[in-house]
């Protein structure tokens, strides 16, 4: 299987890239595609393993802020190299109000350049504008960094990804030590 056991970091998307063509299915069999996501901002967050401690923490934190993100028109989709059954259990256990894509074969993770060693997805979040352009890439093993960056980018913003009138972000500003790739800074940290 291509990419199995290999680190695909060289192929990883960067801020400013177009969302790659992809097709996946949710834990209940509904399709999720790049075309379907266009027209509104999206958060595609990849995580290593359903029901693991860090992934549970991250999913529950995204769920806690789901109403706020949905009000800004943002669609949240979690993706991991797990089976549909594992994703369904995970979504049920955590009470998640958003879709989880079961990338059992790892093809979607490979397209996004996040399939790492051991065949697991590396914890990576892609913040995407309504036209399908990657605004920001968050790469960190720390689960809550992904949620904070998502909130900073989208929660206090209008649905087109721009600043909302009179709104202040609830997330802390990015420090030079944060683990993000940001188009405006043009840097990437691990």
Kindly list the catalytic residues.
55
What is the C-alpha separation between 178 and 190, in angstroms, rounded?
A: 8
Residues in CB range of 131: below 8 A, 6 or more apart? 38
User: By C-alpha distance, which of 53, 48, 72 is closest to 127?
Assistant: 72
What 3-state class would DSSP assign to 45? strand
User: By C-alpha distance, which of 58, 62, 51, 116 is closest to 87?
Assistant: 51
Exposure class string for 61-90: b at 16+ Cβ within 10 A, else e: bbbebeeebeebbbbbbbbbbbebebbbeb
What is the C-alpha separation between 163 and 166, in angstroms, rounded?
A: 8
């Amino acid at each position: 299987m291509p990419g199995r056991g290999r680190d695909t970091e060289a192929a990883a998307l960067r801020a400013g890239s177009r969302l790659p063509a992809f097709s996946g299915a949710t834990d209940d069999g509904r399709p999720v595609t790049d075309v379907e996501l266009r027209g509104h901002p999206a958060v595609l967050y990849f995580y290593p393993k359903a029901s693991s401690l860090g992934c549970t923490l991250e999913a529950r934190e995204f769920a806690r802020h789901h109403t706020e993100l949905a009000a800004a028109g943002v669609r949240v989709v979690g993706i991991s190299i797990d089976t549909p059954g594992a994703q369904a259990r995970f979504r049920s256990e955590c009470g998640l109000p958003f879709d989880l894509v079961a990338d059992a074969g790892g093809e979607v993770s490979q397209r996004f350049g996040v399939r790492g060693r051991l065949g697991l997805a590396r914890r990576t979040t892609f913040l995407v504008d309504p036209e399908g352009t990657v605004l920001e890439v968050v790469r960190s093993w720390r689960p809550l960094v992904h949620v904070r960056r998502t909130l900073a980018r989208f929660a206090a913003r209008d649905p087109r990804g721009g600043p909302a009138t009179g709104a202040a972000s609830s997330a802390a500003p990015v420090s030079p030590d944060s683990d993000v790739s940001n188009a405006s800074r043009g840097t990437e940290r691990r």
